[in-house]
Amino acid sequence: MQLARIFRLAVLSAPSAVLGACAMPELPGELVGAYHIEGALTENQCGEEALPATDPLTFDVQIRRDERSGYWLQGMPPARAGRFAEDGTFSFELQQIYDVPTTTGTPSDEPFLTSDPEAAADPERFDRQEAASRAACRLTITEKVAGSVLRKGGTGVHRSSEDGSPDLVGENAIVVAPVAGGNCARVIRAGGGPFDQLPCRASYDLTGQLVEEQE
């Protein structure tokens, strides 16, 4: 069960795209600051097999804003919309649903429609499919980045503060939880799966240095 491929700490990044000859999409809002971020892992309740958490975590990000929203842009557009307040606090969240595959060869692999008259006439066929549906496991994966930018204003490139204090502090948290009504016992370690427990949480403490700020 290759769940570890799904649960990689993305820090709200969108998948990279090959733009080729296409023009670069217009960036939303105006730049608040471009930051080099370092993250220190503080917990991983899910377990390393289920959630391989890089430590330390490093990446570059732009925080942008307009009159209505804040934007978190890591790598290529699109940016992730969220909240950026006048006091410099921010919050960005991404939630996804993941359907855990069943083992091949189970009744859930049977097609709902079939041209085989004998298979279609099997009185237990729909019972098996219904049982497989009840045993299905769906996981909600919620990733949130929240924190504060500590300095704004000025122009040009800012290398570091004189006392070495960060220009951004925050937390990156990922919470994995089973959707109500499903049966996720098989993805717990006791059931042969990779998760130490469910629901579970992994989190980083983030600090950032300002690389470029709004002119």
Question: DSSP 3-state assignment of 117?
Answer: helix
Task: Please report the pLDDT score of residue 135 as a whole number.
Answer: 62
Nearest by Cα to 135 from 175, 107, 95:
107
Predicted local distance difference test score (pLDDT) of residue 58: 94
What's this model's pTM, rounded to 2 decimal places? 0.74
pLDDT in tens, 135-146: 689 999 999 999
Which pLDDT value is given to residue 112?
39
Q: What is the pLDDT of residue 22?
A: 52
Spans of the chain, pLDDT less than 70:
1-24, 103-135, 152-163, 214-215
Residue 52: its H or E element? none
Model pLDDT, residue 194: 93
112: DSSP letter: S
The pLDDT score that the predictor gives to residue 214 is 65
Using DSSP, state whether 126 is helix, strand or coil. helix
96 beta partners:
141
pLDDT of residue 162: 57
What is the distance between the alpha carbons of residues 79 and 76, in angstroms, rounded to a whole number?
Answer: 8
Query: What is the structure's pLDDT at 20?
Result: 44
